[in-house]
């Protein structure tokens, strides 16, 4: 038995092209872009070498911190298994995952690749590097801008980036950050313990770091954004990596604790605008989190779907059992609705990402959609991977098979880049201070007016959105916060419903209208599916065949 055959015994979706089998993804992407990007090669890599590598790193070859060289020098570097390094270089250079937005492509190209990769650890390395490139491309000086090429795979040696914002005492409350910056003989220096969840610690060549310049006001608006290189101008190690975290999942990305003891740094852009640059940067990663969550959920669905086609119980295949079909229907509808929502958020970000402070309404709308999308996709991923685990029964709980890891991977997505409570609070801020909900309502009503088929479902979704927003506007501040997460969930399900209908209209496909009707019924209204859903379900599951109208 060769290696491919052996791993194929562990996974029913291994060896399949994860782009080619995913017809709903191709169709929804085509609606937004007008053409399906050429992702066949990446789909093959994601469904075979990368899929196996993710399991291998998780079980056998997690990154390790190396503090000392053989010559007794402090190095604080991270050892990665050679197979992970090779895979990363391939993703950077051969597949150019980080390149599109900066070299004539689009954010759709980038996030579609993150979806296919769908290992949150690998995707995190790509994402924090991309966030670093984003800040330098958009706000860096000429010297900083030249560093972008190494972070998007244009140079012989890949340069890794990092975004170190979180501190122990503050967590998501960036205004509580204590790391400081000061000038010493014309050189900016960073001082402080500790950036506490520092992804790419020990791997990063460059990090963008939030720090408060001496004399700056307290709170988030007093933060500046600084570029901190791995080595200072004299070639010395520029910061300390205290340790790497032991994590439940996301093993392939080293996450550590970083200390600064007079580290050399350079401001990125205007120091007074650091918090705005940081919030922009978080939009990039929150969208990446969304597509990582979607990709993990899709892989879990594939594992469950193919398993139910082979496993027999009570005299027939699992996939023929009505209760199993109901579970698969929940998963597929939830994935497709979340995907339509996420691509809508990317569409708005694509249209506004080059804006600088002060921003227009289009940017604030993109930010609102990002909060909604991050929350919805994370909840979907945790649910879908749990259900996939249940469909495999006891096998789903064994760590020798992929489902167990996929569920662990999914559980980080509600936490990374701010948990649901933070998304709800940020949603409140962009609504109350920027009026972003007004553009959301205008957009959704405009889409509703353009529909012929499914318009009554769209009207229901718009009404749910209006009622949810009215709950906020009629409440005192404390009550608004109390209800904010409920509102966030309703907005996600409402926009997902309307976007599925819009995809159906744009593609001339009744299939997505049917999915929208099911999504609205189950997730927006909380009602049982109609009786005819069983027949619809059988057609929806043919995901690796040309998608059927239902």
Question: Tokens representing 131?
Answer: 């966030």
Tell whether 86 and 199 lie within a shared domain: no
Tell whether 267 and 280 lie within a shared domain: no
Query: Is residue 481 situated within a structural domain?
Result: yes
Tell whether 448 and 507 lie within a shared domain: yes
Tell whether 51 and 127 lie within a shared domain: yes
Distance between CA 252 and CA 61 in Å, rounded? 8
Query: Is residue 550 situated within a structural domain?
Result: no
CATH of the domain at 457: 1.20.140.10
Tell whether 139 and 177 lie within a shared domain: no
Q: What is the pLDDT of residue 535?
A: 76
Question: Tokens representing 522?
Answer: 């189950």
Q: What is the pLDDT of residue 474?
A: 84
Tell whether 464 and 516 lie within a shared domain: yes
Query: Is residue 351 situated within a structural domain?
Result: yes
CATH of the domain at 129: 1.10.540
Tell whether 232 and 283 lie within a shared domain: no
Tell whether 398 and 477 lie within a shared domain: yes
Per the structure, the complete domain to which residue 492 belongs is given by: 276-540
Domain termination residue (choose one: 129, 151, 173): 151
Tell whether 130 and 169 lie within a shared domain: no
pLDDT < 70 positions in the chain: 1-4, 538, 541-550
Q: What is the pLDDT of residue 193?
A: 87
| Number of domains forming the structure of the chain | 3
Closest CA to 526 of 534, 518, 535: 518
Domain termination residue (choose one: 271, 288, 317): 271
Query: Is residue 387 situated within a structural domain?
Result: yes
Q: What is the pLDDT of residue 543?
A: 47
Q: Which residue has the tokens 């990363």?
A: 88
Query: Is residue 545 situated within a structural domain?
Result: no
Quick one: CA torsion of 414, 416, 421, 422, rounded to 10 degrees? -150
Cα dihedral across residues 348, 350, 351, 357: positive or negative:
positive
Query: Is residue 448 situated within a structural domain?
Result: yes
Domain termination residue (choose one: 271, 286, 306): 271
Query: Is residue 549 situated within a structural domain?
Result: no
Q: What is the pLDDT of residue 550?
A: 42
Q: What is the pLDDT of residue 4?
A: 67
Tell whether 428 and 514 lie within a shared domain: yes
Distance between CA 215 and CA 377 in Å, rounded? 40
Query: Is residue 548 situated within a structural domain?
Result: no
Whether the full predicted model's pTM is greater than 0.85, yes or no, is yes
Tens digits of residue pLDDT in 491-546: 999 999 999 999 999 999 999 999 999 999 999 999 999 888 877 776 775 544 44
Q: What is the pLDDT of residue 533?
A: 83
Distance between CA 209 and CA 225 in Å, rounded? 6
CATH of the domain at 223: 2.40.110.20
Q: Which residues contact 145 (CB under 8 A, 6 or more apart)?
A: 136, 137
Tell whether 399 and 515 lie within a shared domain: yes
Tell whether 267 and 285 lie within a shared domain: no
């Amino acid at each position: 038995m060769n290696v491919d055959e052996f791993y194929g015994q562990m996974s029913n979706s291994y060896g399949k092209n994860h782009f080619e089998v995913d017809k709903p993804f191709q169709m929804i992407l085509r609606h937004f872009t007008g053409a399906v990007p050429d992702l066949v090669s990446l789909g093959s890599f994601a469904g075979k070498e990368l899929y196996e590598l993710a399991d291998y790193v998780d079980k056998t070859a997690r990154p390790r911190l190396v503090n000392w060289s053989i010559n007794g020098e402090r190095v604080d570097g991270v050892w990665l298994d050679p197979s992970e390094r090779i895979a990363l270089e391939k993703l950077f250079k051969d597949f150019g995952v980080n390149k599109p937005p900066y070299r004539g492509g689009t954010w759709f190209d980038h996030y579609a690749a993150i979806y296919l990769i769908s290992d949150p650890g690998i995707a995190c390395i790509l994402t924090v590097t991309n966030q670093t490139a984003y800040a330098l491309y958009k706000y860096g000086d000429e010297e900083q801008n030249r560093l972008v090429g190494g972070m998007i795979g244009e140079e012989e040696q890949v340069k890794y980036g990092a975004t170190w914002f979180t501190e122990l005492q503050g967590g998501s409350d960036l205004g509580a950050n204590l790391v400081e910056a000061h000038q010493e003989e014309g050189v900016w220096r960073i001082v402080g313990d500790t950036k506490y969840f520092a992804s790419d610690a020990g791997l990063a060549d460059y990090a963008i770091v939030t720090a408060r310049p001496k004399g700056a006001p307290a709170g988030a608006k007093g933060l500046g954004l600084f570029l901190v290189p791995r080595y200072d101008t004299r070639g010395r190690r520029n910061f300390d990596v205290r340790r790497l975290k032991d994590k439940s999942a996301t093993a392939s990305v080293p996450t550590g604790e970083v200390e600064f003891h007079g580290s050399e740094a350079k401001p990125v852009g205007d120091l007074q605008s650091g918090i705005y640059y940081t919030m922009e940067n978080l939009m990039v990663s929150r969208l990446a989190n969304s597509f990582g969550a979607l990709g993990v959920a899709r892989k879990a669905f594939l594992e469950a779907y193919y398993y139910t086609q082979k496993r027999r119980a009570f005299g027939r295949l699992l996939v023929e059992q009505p209760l199993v079909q109901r579970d698969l229907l929940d998963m597929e509808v939830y994935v497709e609705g979340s995907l339509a929502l996420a691509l809508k958020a990317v569409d708005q970000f694509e249209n506004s990402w080059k804006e600088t402070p002060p921003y227009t309404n289009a940017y604030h709308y993109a930010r609102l959609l990002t909060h909604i999308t991050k929350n919805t996709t994370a909840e979907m991923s945790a649910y879908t991977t749990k259900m996939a685990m249940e469909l495999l029964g006891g096998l789903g709980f064994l760590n020798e098979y992929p489902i167990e890891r996929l569920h662990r991977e999914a559980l980080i997505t509600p936490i990374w880049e701010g948990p649901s409570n933070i998304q709800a609070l940020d949603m409140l801020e962009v609504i109350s201070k920027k009026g972003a909900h007004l553009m959301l309502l205008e957009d959704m009503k405009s889409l509703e007016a353009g529909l012929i088929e499914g318009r009554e479902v769209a009207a229901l979704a718009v009404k749910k959105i209006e009622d949810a927003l009215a709950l906020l506007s009629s409440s005192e501040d404390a009550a608004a916060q109390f209800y904010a997460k409920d509102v966030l969930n309703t907005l996600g399900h409402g926009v997902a419903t309307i976007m599925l209908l819009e995809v159906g209209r744009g593609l001339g496909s009744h299939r997505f209208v049917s999915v929208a009707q099911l999504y609205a019924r189950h997730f927006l209204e909380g009602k049982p599916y109609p009786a005819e859903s069983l027949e619809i379900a059988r057609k929806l599951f043919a995901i690796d065949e040309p998608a059927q109208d239902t």
